[in-house]
């Protein structure tokens, strides 16, 4: 529904209703300035859920007791409408921080939203969007069960949780414990390996609901199913980051642990200088090495190499390769920068996007 929260009149309230209470699990921002809706959902962990209400256009974060009241009023209105307990309603918000959100806008829109149940998932996914330019929907059935997910990203994209909302549903028949573990596992390997502007938000949430109508899945099958959808959504978020013109894969090889590899990957992924170079297709690999060295004080430059796609540009302590070949690789809409260390066997890939003038323009405007 378009409830009027977004001044543009675009879709800004989405409602997801289950026929009966569902097992669910979630992962949330670790920011102590978390929005009241995040606190609300956290408190609901362990209970079953019947409905999810989401609004875009206002994060309802740092809005004090009025913000709390809005969350409660939204949940109560939804519960009254569909006939469930108030604590079976999950609430998510995304948009500017610190702007009062009038609960009546959502309450007024909810009845029409309830009448639209059964609409295309793309309409629901559109109701989440802020500065995203396209809706993000992914599906998988590789694990035997069906998994579907929708997400919004755009700005404030950083670990933990890559500042975003993602909602996944599956028909898998799984225990609450297995679901919780699988969500953490999949989020850690997907959204937490997406780092665009390094800014963590107050509203990040990934919620996964399971109907249990489908096949029983073992723990690893469930993880794989969720990871496939989460990874694809993360990729779509990187491609659609604010102002982004290209996807940049930062690959770290030869690290002493996967955690270490992810840490170094994030350091490169959040380097403004490197992301600006990526925007200009400038194979400025020195900025990559500088970013790695800024977090890995034990880096040995002489045994570290840097490559853009297949073109090795720095190895054995010396520049090498053809910058023109690397520049050509960077000119497309996707490329990989690989840093290879000599510290172990661990590998990780972190996704980011280039830093463009448009990112600045979008975020200098009052008020996204």
Residues that bind a second copy (CB under 8 A): 30-34, 59, 61-66, 96-100, 155-156, 158, 197-202, 270-273, 276-277, 279-280, 282, 284-287, 289-294, 296-301, 313-314, 316-319, 327, 355-357, 359-367
* Cβ atoms < 10 Å from Cβ of 171: 16
Given the complex with a second copy, which of 2 and 99 has the nearer CB atom? 99
Q: Which is nearer to a second copy, 115 or 324 (CB)?
A: 324
Rg (CA), the chain: 21
Distance CA 304, CA 253 (A): 10
Closest CB to a second copy among 64 and 218? 64
Non-local CB neighbours of 145 within 8 Å, separated by 6+ positions: 170, 171, 172, 173, 214, 215, 217, 221, 222, 225
Residue 270 CB partners (closer than 8 Å, separation 6+):
158, 195, 196, 197, 198, 352
CB of 272 to a second copy, least distance (A): 4
Strands 136-140 and 89-94: unpaired
Name the minimum Å distance from CB 40 to a second copy.
15
CB of 17 to a second copy, least distance (A): 31
C-alpha 198/C-alpha 208 separation (Å) is 25
| Structure token pair of residue 104 | 């009546």
CB of 274 to a second copy, least distance (A): 8
Nearer to a second copy, 276 or 347 (CB): 276
- Tracing tokens 């997907």 back to the chain, one arrives at 190
Q: Please give the Cα distance from 289 to 339 (Å, whole number).
A: 8
Q: Which residues are catalytic?
A: 163
């Amino acid at each position: 529904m378009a409830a009027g929260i977004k001044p543009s009149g675009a879709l800004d309230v989405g409602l997801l209703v289950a026929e009966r209470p569902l097992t669910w699990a979630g992962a949330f921002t670790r920011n102590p300035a978390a929005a009241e809706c995040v606190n609300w959902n956290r408190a609901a962990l362990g209970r079953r859920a019947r409905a999810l209400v989401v609004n875009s256009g206002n994060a309802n974060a740092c809005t004090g007791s009025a913000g709390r009241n809005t969350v409660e009023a939204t949940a109560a209105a939804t519960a009254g409408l569909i006939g469930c307990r108030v604590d079976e309603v999950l609430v998510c918000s995304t948009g500017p921080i610190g702007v009062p959100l009038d609960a009546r806008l959502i309450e007024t829109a909810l009845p029409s939203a309830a009448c639209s149940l059964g609409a295309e998932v793309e309409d629901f996914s559109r109701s989440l969007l802020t500065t995203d330019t396209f809706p993000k929907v992914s599906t998988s059935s590789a694990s035997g069960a069906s998994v579907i997910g929708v997400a919004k990203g755009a700005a404030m994209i950083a670990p933990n949780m890559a500042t975003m909302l993602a909602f996944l549903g599956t028909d898998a028949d799984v225990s609450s414990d297995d679901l919780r573990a699988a969500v953490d596992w999949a989020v850690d390997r997907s959204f937490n390996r997406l780092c665009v502007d390094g800014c963590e938000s107050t509203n990040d949430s990934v919620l996964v609901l399971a109907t249990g109508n489908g096949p029983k899945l073992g723990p690893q099958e469930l993880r794989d199913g969720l990871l496939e959808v989460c990874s694809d959504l993360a990729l779509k978020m990187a491609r659609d980051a604010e102002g982004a013109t290209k996807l940049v894969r930062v690959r770290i090889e030869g690290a002493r642990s996967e955690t270490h590899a992810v840490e170094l990957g994030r350091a490169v992924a959040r380097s403004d200088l490197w992301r600006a170079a990526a925007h200009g297709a400038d194979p400025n690999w020195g900025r990559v090495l500088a970013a790695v060295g800024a977090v890995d004080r034990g880096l040995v430059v002489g045994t570290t190499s840097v490559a853009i796609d297949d073109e090795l540009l720095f190895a054995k302590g010396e520049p090498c390769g053809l910058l023109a070949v690397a520049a050509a690789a960077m000119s497309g809409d996707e490329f990989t920068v690989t840093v290879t260390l000599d510290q172990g066997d661990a590998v990780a890939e972190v996704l980011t996007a280039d830093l463009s003038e448009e990112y600045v323009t979008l975020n200098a405007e009052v008020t996204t």
